[in-house]
């Protein structure tokens, strides 16, 4: 019976290069305190032997785990997965985070946490003990949760907060939500719309308020009244349906609607058609997120493209740099979004 080929380990590399295990680990981890000649010798042995660094080998160089943990909202994430509607926040987060981590020998793991749980601290401590991450990425609404931020700070774990500018510890990142909402509103204003309704996101998401602010700012700049054009939402289909019906039932109904996520926008499309109206001929429609389901809707929906992958990559880089002693600037980082114009918006008739 043939033997399985023996895996090449860090010990083989050290023996081939004639150096210590710690030296090989420092080269693998791209640490600065290795002489160029020594680094070249180790890299040559790695290439010759076909060695692939493992997390265990990387840990030999110090106390780092080479793992970053991302915390996502359990309830909404599981609901998205079960409904299979093409929402891709986690997909995009993994895309950006995993690729950026791979550049530095890091791995990204995702943990689902209920930010409103009575056992939040116990759940989070269990996850931290199991993974021992070098850093944590917080996504909304965890990014503005003082309990989570306080716990991470007490345990000396660096973290990045996507979608929060609240004062406190941690690197802060936004996806330009206020400017994006303003841009979407200006697009509709340029098409002649003045009655532009806005369906807000849940109030426990800091970014929901930014989007409302951007819409209001654009309407005010155009001299377009908006006192009765804001409808409450919570990112769910039912909330989007109710909000759209409310806006369409006004004595002076809206001619355009911006909804704060794709699911509510598709619900608005349903409400518009239930009244015998057409998109975009009678009502224009703009969404946030730009997940696959709005690109394949009929008509394809104009949408703010959320740069989730870029934001996750940026968060990874901030944490990796900080762990390596390259302290980044703690000023908020803005990852710019864009507006993709498609067939759901047209000049007001």
Q: Tell whether pTM > 0.85.
A: no
Co-location of 239 and 316 in the same domain: no
Helix or strand (DSSP H, E) at 286 = strand 284-289
Judged by DSSP in three states, 230 sits in: strand
Co-location of 87 and 15 in the same domain: no
The domain total for the chain is 3
Give 196-231 pLDDT, tens digit per residue. 999 999 998 999 999 999 999 999 999 999 999 999
Q: The domain containing residue 189 runs over which residues?
A: 177-306
Would 149 be classed as within a structural domain? yes
Segment 68-76 mean pLDDT: 89
Give 34-56 pLDDT, tens digit per residue. 888 888 888 898 888 888 765 55
Residues 261 and 323: their CA atoms lie apart, in Å, by 34
Which pLDDT band holds residue 308 (cuts at 50, 70, 90)?
Answer: very high
Co-location of 216 and 332 in the same domain: no
Would 50 be classed as within a structural domain? yes
Segment 117-126 mean pLDDT: 83
Share of the chain above pLDDT 90, in %: 56
pLDDT at residue 61 is higher than 60: no
Tell me the residue length of the chain.
Answer: 349
Segment 48-73 mean pLDDT: 72
pLDDT at residue 142 is higher than 60: yes
Count Cβ neighbours within 10 Å for each residue of 32-49 and write b for 16 or more, e otherwise. eebeeebeebbeebbeee
Higher pLDDT, 57 or 100: 100
Would 135 be classed as within a structural domain? yes
Co-location of 98 and 171 in the same domain: yes
Report the candidate in 102, 64, 104, 108 with the shortest Cα–Cα distance to residue 90.
Answer: 108
> Tell me, what's the pLDDT at 101?
92
Which pLDDT band holds residue 1 (cuts at 50, 70, 90)?
Answer: very low
pLDDT at residue 60 is higher than 50: no
Q: Which two tokens stand for residue 109?
A: 């793991």
Kindly report the average pLDDT of the chain as a whole number: 89
Segment 161-170 mean pLDDT: 89
Report the candidate in 232, 74, 213 with the shortest Cα–Cα distance to residue 142.
Answer: 74
Would 345 be classed as within a structural domain? no
Would 292 be classed as within a structural domain? yes
Which pLDDT band holds residue 32 (cuts at 50, 70, 90)?
Answer: low
Co-location of 195 and 168 in the same domain: no
pLDDT at residue 70 is higher than 90: yes
Co-location of 146 and 228 in the same domain: no
pLDDT at residue 160 is higher than 90: yes
Co-location of 211 and 149 in the same domain: no
């Amino acid at each position: 019976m043939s033997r399985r080929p023996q895996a090449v380990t860090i010990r083989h590399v050290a023996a081939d290069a004639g150096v210590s295990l710690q030296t090989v680990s420092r080269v693998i981890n791209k640490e600065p305190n290795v002489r160029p000649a020594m680094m070249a010798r180790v890299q040559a042995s790695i290439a010759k032997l076909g060695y692939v660094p493992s997390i265990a080998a990387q840990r030999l160089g110090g106390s780092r785990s080479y793992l970053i943990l991302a915390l996502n909202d359990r309830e909404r994430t599981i609901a998205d997965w079960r409904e299979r509607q093409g929402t891709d926040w986690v997909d995009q987060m993994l895309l950006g985070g995993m690729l950026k981590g791979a550049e530095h020998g890091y791995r990204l793991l995702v943990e689902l946490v209920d930010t409103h749980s009575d056992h939040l601290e116990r759940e989070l401590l269990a996850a931290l003990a199991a993974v021992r991450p070098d850093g944590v990425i917080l996504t909304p609404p965890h990014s503005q949760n003082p309990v989570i931020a306080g716990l991470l700070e007490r345990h000396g774990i660096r973290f990045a907060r996507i979608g929060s500018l609240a004062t406190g510890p941690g690197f802060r990142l936004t996806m330009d939500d206020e400017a994006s909402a303003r841009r979407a509103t200006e697009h509709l204003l340029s098409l002649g719309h003045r009655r532009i309704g806005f369906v807000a996101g849940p109030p426990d998401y800091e970014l929901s308020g930014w989007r409302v602010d951007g819409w209001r700012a654009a309407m005010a700049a155009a001299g377009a009244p908006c006192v009765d054009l804001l409808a409450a939402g919570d990112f769910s289909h039912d909330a989007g349906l109710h909000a759209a019906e409310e806006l369409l039932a006004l004595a002076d109904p809206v001619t355009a609607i911006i909804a704060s996520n794709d699911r509510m926008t598709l619900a608005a499309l349903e409400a518009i058609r239930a009244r015998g109206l057409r998109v975009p001929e009678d009502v224009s429609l703009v969404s946030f997120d730009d997940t696959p389901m709005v690109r394949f809707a009929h008509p394809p929906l104009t949408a703010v493209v959320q740069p989730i992958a870029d934001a996750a990559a940026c968060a990874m880089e901030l944490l990796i740099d900080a762990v390596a002693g390259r302290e980044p600037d703690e000023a908020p980082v803005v990852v710019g979004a864009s507006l993709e114009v498609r067939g759901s918006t047209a000049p007001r008739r």
